[in-house]
Structure 1
């Protein structure tokens, strides 16, 4: 009889005094009520202004914060999870990663609801020490122990470090090993926990506290397609993104909030926006100039005796072939400036050079050749006054009449 009375009192209290997140200061704090979620409310209790930022909660890597609540209808406690997502405005596609689980006694370790003068407990939760800087969305989820089968979820913006510097890869390295947030009782008709049990999460993660005297249980009714789909809602699309950078609209913590003791007076801004997947938010490094390897100026003594075959003076395949009469090129020592390496450069009318690293060294042309108009040509034209007999011998008389 007493237990039935306690149950009825719990139901009556739940109409006006459900629980909601106090710290970290939640999104849309002025519009957030303390009722459990309906299906359309997932995630973060959807409503107009659901992601309005009242306070940007500073919470650095490795730092422990005391999570606190407002309300008195604690429904005999139950089990809570504390999770993160990289999405600044989470949706049903967001993936939530659990950083801490409490099984039994959350948000208070009492048999029913709080009485006048009692306050819900505070729960220390540590931010992962390896999480990169950035702005994340924090979530508190709760499965109540007694009363209607309900699912509670409030969300809050948190900034780790300076709020910039993370990439998809670095965030994935920190959060991917953590379990996905567990969702049930949404709606309870499809999949629900058991009244009177402190639900024992199938994968609570390594950061876990079990409440004193907890009545552990993991029974789920309607364990069919409904449970198979619902319990995986916390996984979203199974893809972690990158946290956002600080925006100019982010507000410093209020002096009335616990955040005021640990958050900076102002949140730095670097323009905001979501990082492209895989890209780093770190400031781009100053461009550097690739050092130019100095090239020694060629000298006359470095000119080989056979320019057509030495690697120091490569001959372009497009360059005209220079006749070779067996003579040794002149080593005059003069350097004629040029621009196209490997090209043949006319030097006067009787000399040429191969352009090598901006310098063409003069060499004598073969007999019968000359430079004219920048090209090597024959210096004399062959006479066509040959004896007729010679023409017959070479071409045959039929070619000439």
Structure 2
């Protein structure tokens, strides 16, 4: 009897509000509703303005952020996956790669049915708690699309999917297809089911166990893998798309914003607002590549003014030859000579690519860049092609020697 009450209450809530991803900020937030997907909605709940960017979400490689949700019809929890694709505006041909799976307890495991109704708009009611998701540490810089997909536990057999734009790294450069494929190919494809349930359905009251949940999977609740229907094979493969990983496009260079910190539910640590990021669960960002590396600094442009002047250095004592700079300035308009990279092992170090090009080893990949005029690359160092020498006039030397004899 108790289970029937739960199921009835869950179904009743279907008419009012399900669940929506609140953070990271999804595409087209103003037009995104809480209903489950119909087959024509795949991927990302297709609609007018589906890929409007409300806010770009910053999420660096190796960083853990708290994904949060709004809504009251949590359907007793269920199982979900968090995936990414290199496509900025995904289609049915996009390939999605899973970075985190939750078997049970998604979006929350606190209720046997739905959350209590509260005053106000249900889609603005915060789901208690949040789910930590870690971006793989070897994900190349660039722009991606992040997706939350959910198979609910109680109620109608449904499939939910919300998508959000994310930027990995500084946004100053994008990775090659080869480096993106290297980082993503080992991850499982996103799993799709109940789309529609008449062709492939999970079992109610089970926290569905994904056949390939990946290495980052958390299991709880009442796991089960019941799945029936003649269309399961084709449905389950929808997350693989055309089976081809693309190259992430360059994002928007990081600049300060007026955003506020993203609140987290329960006892979870707060997550900073996109772009203008604050503390997170990841280690501090360190760029071993120095001034050459893509995204060497995400600080505001005014930051160099913080360096103190050196008035105590007499200008007259400086040699006539300018001191070599710590590193040559890479032209702002330089671009990789091609979309591929040169394999390397000295992460953060300079890689000479011929004598007129160089690259910075960034996670095993060095993208060729043209050297500035007058510079060359040799033995892992960028140096001036012609060295200047200090020459004193012969008359000056003669006067110095004559004066010395009189002392």
TM surpasses 0.5: yes
TM-score, normalisation: structure 2 = 0.64
Q: Secondary structure at the match of 2:370?
A: coil
Q: Deviations over 1:104-145 (max 9, x none)?
A: 111110211111468333000100001111110000000000
Aligned to 1:263: 275
SS in 2 for 1:30: helix
Work out whether 1:203 is the aligned partner of 2:212: yes
Unaligned runs of 5+ in 1: 292-401
Query: For each residue in 1:277-333, what CA deviation from the matched residue of structure 2 results, as whole angstroms up to 9, or x when unmatched?
Result: 647996842366899xxxxxxxxxxxxxxxxxxxxxxxxxxxxxxxxxxxxxxxxxx
Give the Cα–Cα distance (whole angstroms) in 1 for the partners of residues 240 and 255 of structure 2: 28
Residues of 2 paired with 1:57 and 1:282: CA distance?
A: 26
Residues 111 and 253 of structure 1: CA distance in aligned 2, closer, same or farther (over 3 Å): farther
Distance change >3 Å, CA 49–CA 138, structure 1 → 2: same
1:243 aligns with 2:255: no
Query: Deviation at 1:264?
Result: 2.6
Partner of 2:259: 254
Q: Which runs of 5+ in 2 are unaligned?
A: 119-125, 264-270, 278-297, 301-331, 342-364, 377-407
| 8 A Cα contact 1:55 1:253, kept in partner | no
**In structure 2, do the counterparts of structure 1 residues 160 and 247 end up closer, same or farther at CA, with 3 Å as the change threshold?**
closer
SS in 1 for 2:180: helix
Q: What's the TM-score, normalizing by structure 1?
A: 0.65
Q: How far off its partner does 1:250 sit?
A: 10
Alpha carbons 1:168, 1:242 under 8 Å: kept: yes
Instruction: Tell me the equivalent position of 2:114.
Output: 113
- The structure number with the bigger radius of gyration is 1
Q: Give distance in 2, aligned partners of 1:197 and 1:81.
A: 16
Q: Distance in 1 between matches of 2:71 and 2:375?
A: 64
Assess, with a 3 A threshold, how the Cα gap between structure 1 residues 36 and 284 changes in structure 2: closer, same or farther. Answer: same
TM-superposed CA distance for 1:16, in Å, is 1.1
Alpha-carbon distance in structure 2 between the residues aligned to 1:190 and 1:93: 21
Q: What's the counterpart of residue 4 of structure 2?
A: 4
Distance 1:174 1:76 in 2: 35
Residue equivalent to 1:384: none
> How many pairs are equivalent?
285
The 3-state SS of whatever aligns with 1:76 is: coil
* Structure 1 position 158 matched with structure 2 position 138: no
**Structure 1 residues 9 and 277: alpha-carbon distance in aligned structure 2, compared to 1, 3 A threshold:** farther
Q: 2:143 aligns with which of 127, 131, 135?
A: 135
Per the TM alignment, residue 178 of structure 1 is displaced from its structure 2 partner at its CA by 0.4
Alignment of 1:90 onto 2:175: no
**Root mean square deviation of aligned Cα:** 3.0
* CA displacement 1:358-380 (0-9 Å, x = unmatched): xxxxxxxxxxxxxxxxxxxxxxx
Could you tell me whether the CA contact under 8 Å between 2:68 and 2:127 is conserved in 1?
Answer: no
Contact 1:23/1:67 (8 A) holds in 2: yes
- CA distances 1:319-349 after superposition (whole Å, capped 9, x unpaired): xxxxxxxxxxxxxxxxxxxxxxxxxxxxxxx
Residue equivalent to 2:355? none
Q: Residue 370 of structure 2 aligns with which residue?
A: 285
